[in-house]
Amino acid sequence: MTKERVVVTGIGTVSSVGTGRQEFWNGIVEGRSGVKRVTTARVVEKMQSACKIAAEIVDFDPSKYLEPKQVRRTDRFIQFAVAAAQLAVDDAKLDMKQEDPTRVGVVVGSAAGGFETIENQYRVLMERGPDRCSPFTVPMLIVNMAAGWVSILHNAKGPNSCTVTACATSANSIGDAYMMIQRGDADVMFAGGSEAPITALCMAGFSSARTLSTRNAEPEKASRPFDKDRDGFVMGEGGAILILESLPHAQKRGAKILAELVGYGMTGDAWDIVQPCADGNGAARAMQAALKQAGMKPEDVQYINAHGTSTPLGDRAETTAIKTVFGEHATNHKVAVSSSKSMTGHLLGAAGALEAAVCIMAINDSILPPTINLDNPDPECDLDYVAKVARKGVNIDVALSNSFGFGGHNACLLFKKFKS
């Protein structure tokens, strides 16, 4: 059976660096940090002696995307997904009234789901009793409801799913949606993820595990992937959704094609619930799987958007994995690598989709995005990380996006400049 070619026609992003495809991309190219002191009152109150910084979105207005009643019935992570989906539809110029709704699907995930709702409603339960809890508590907090809302609001009646694979979530979402179109299950898919983890409990848990940066005095410099002075990742929030279409469908409606998705690899470390394999074996196999599916060689890739979280173990393991797969192509600096988490922070389940958007825009604009704050490179991280400033005028035909999650989940997406 011939598989459908799958293309990207729309991008919707909500992040601390910018909302909407162009504003977000402008921030990335400029090397703009979205990290700052946390303003959420309950987080500030509880995190007195730990991490007090995050890539928080302080100006997000859900009423631009939802009715007042709907805002009250949705958690923040759902609101981010709804916003990203609408922005993606607008970007793709997709008129859902002209679509067969049974041929439009949704795969949108989240790693944490409605943590804010969990905290708020538990407080209501303890202080005021069970009868005062919201009847919308469960629909607000369960992870699949971002996909549910996107489906409802856009009348998407095709495949509807929610992927949950920690920090690989939205990369897996895009990969799963890609395969659904390939095998003919849908013509159009909303694919991505959203996350709203800047809550007291979520931040306390990560802080207790000593995974968060505590560079509280210099928030904008805290996320520093591949730098020898890195001390942990910085929490981020937001969402990103891509519109994927079969090539015939996109061409029939005259859509502008941003890139072609040509490879998807996913593996398991089978190693540890938190730590990656030191030799990066699982990550390497995921990259190799994406290349194999695309029928490409390592030398065909010009850019890798690294998972690059700014943790000591993770950055070294990923560097090792890239060397395993790309060999001299990487060690001789023939492939550029950068981490946009240096600017956006780590959006957990939404990170993969946001970084897929970076890869697509890099291909479109021939710009290698930077890894900011890379002042003192770790000697064990010795690849070309596009330190500090973006490089313009660089031809990028193929870009790889890496996403690795707690539990040993690895997902890699391979994007290619579209050629008919």
Contact 354, 347 (CB under 8 A): yes
pLDDT in tens, 350-395: 999 999 999 999 999 999 999 999 999 999 999 999 999 999 999 9
Residue 280 falls in which region: left (phi positive, over 0), alpha (psi -120 to 50) or beta: left
Q: Active site includes 307?
A: yes
Q: Which two tokens stand for residue 43?
A: 């987080």
Q: Tell me which of 95-99, 141-145, 275-279 is least confident.
A: 275-279
Cα angle for residues 311, 312, 317 (degrees, 5° grid): 95
Position 304 confidence tier, pLDDT thresholds 50, 70, 90: very high
Position 50 confidence tier, pLDDT thresholds 50, 70, 90: confident
Q: Give the Cβ contact number of residue 128 at 10 Å.
A: 10
3-class DSSP assignment, residue 261: strand
Q: Active site includes 167?
A: yes
Contact 68, 134 (CB under 8 A): no
pLDDT in tens, 117-133: 999 999 999 999 999 99
* Domain range 263-416, its CATH number among 3.65.10.10, 1.10.10.10, 3.30.2010.10, 3.40.47.10: 3.40.47.10
Give the whole-angstrom CA distance, residue 189 versus residue 352.
16
Give the whole-angstrom CA distance, residue 100 versus residue 161.
18
CATH topology agreement for domains 7-252 and 263-416: yes
pTM for the structure as a whole: 0.97
Per domain, the residue ranges of the chain are 7-252, 263-416
Sign for the CA dihedral angle at 290, 296, 299, 300 comes to: negative
- List the catalytic residue out of 154, 307, 329, 409: 307
- List the catalytic residue out of 51, 162, 167, 381: 167
Q: Which two tokens stand for residue 374?
A: 């890379």
Dihedral, CA of residue 245, residue 108, residue 290 and residue 411, to nearest 10: 170
* Domain range 7-252, its CATH number among 3.40.47.10, 3.40.50.10330, 1.20.1420.20, 3.40.190.10: 3.40.47.10
pLDDT at 51: 92
pLDDT at 49: 63
Q: Give the Cβ contact number of residue 33 at 10 Å.
A: 22
Give the whole-angstrom CA distance, residue 10 versus residue 54.
28
State mean pLDDT over 222-240.
98
Residue positions counted in the chain: 420
State mean pLDDT over 228-244.
98
- List the catalytic residue out of 154, 329, 346, 409: 346
Give the whole-angstrom CA distance, residue 105 versus residue 47.
40
pLDDT at 1: 64
Query: C-alpha distances in angstroms, 84 versus 15, 196, 257, 316?
Result: 10, 13, 18, 32
pLDDT at 404: 98
Position 253 confidence tier, pLDDT thresholds 50, 70, 90: very high
pLDDT at 48: 65
Cα 161 to chain centroid distance, Å, stands at 17
